[in-house]
Structure formats: structure tokens, C-alpha cells
Amino acid sequence: MHAFDVLGDPVRRRILEILAQKRHASGEIVAIVGEEFGITQSAISQHLKVLRDHGFATVEPEGPRRIYEIDPTPLAEIQHWLAPFRRFWEPKLEALALEIERGKRRRGTGPGPT
């Protein structure tokens, strides 16, 4: 399964967003995702398995709990695929950053000219 196939599912993307913040016990993930998507613990477990099997998440037993953590390694595949497209948005982001900095200087909240 390609990285985009794994991330094509909104539930799996949400789980990764949660894990990007910090490690979570499976029960915490089930509580958050179950409430947001209205799906069962069993369905969430299947999504966690896909993330584990494809290297996006690791799990570590901690007593009776299973602690999940994001593994960013497969995200490199996505980053590599996106590389040719960066030229479309990077200049716009740089221009935005410049305008934000100008606005801060006008308001007197940012650093002066360098």
C-alpha cells in the first residue's frame, strides 16, 4: 500500500494528527476518534493496525495499555513525491511571511530592518 493510500482515509489522517501532538494510549485514541467519527473501537483498532503495518505508527505495551506513537519515516515518501510541486506554493509562502513581517514592523511589534 502506498503512503497516499494509507493517508487517503480521514480516520487514519485524524489518528496521525492526534499522534503528531504526543504519544497516546489506544483508549485515548478510541475516545477521541470514536466521538468525532461515530465509529466503534473495533474499527479504530483496524485503522491503528494499518498505520502500524505500514510504518506510520509504533506501539509499545505499557502494563495493560498500548501506547501509540507516530513514526515519521513513511512521511519521507510523501515529502519526496511532493518535492516537484513545492515550486507552486513556496514563493507564495515566502511572500506571505514577508508581508507578515512588514506588518509587524509597521505596528512596532516585530524586529527592525536587518
Instruction: Kindly report, residue by residue over 24-81, the tens digit of the pLDDT.
Output: 999 999 999 999 999 999 999 999 999 999 999 999 999 999 999 999 999 988 889 8
DSSP annotation of 61: E
CA dist., res. 79 & res. 7, Å (int): 13
The CATH number given to 3-70 is 1.10.10.10
Q: Is 55:71 a contact under the CB 8 Å cutoff? A: yes
69: enclosing H helix or E strand: strand 65-70
Give the pTM.
Answer: 0.76
pLDDT of residue 77: 87
**pLDDT at residue 112 above 70?**
no
Tell me the mean pLDDT in the region 5-20. Answer: 96
Q: Give CA–CA dist 19/14, Å, rounded.
A: 9
Whether the CB-CB separation of 91 and 97 falls below 8 Å is answered with: no
pLDDT in tens, 38-49: 999 999 999 999
- The pLDDT score that the predictor gives to residue 114 is 53
Of 1 and 113, the structure prediction assigns the larger pLDDT to 1
Cα 29 to Cα 49: distance, rounded to the nearest angstrom: 13
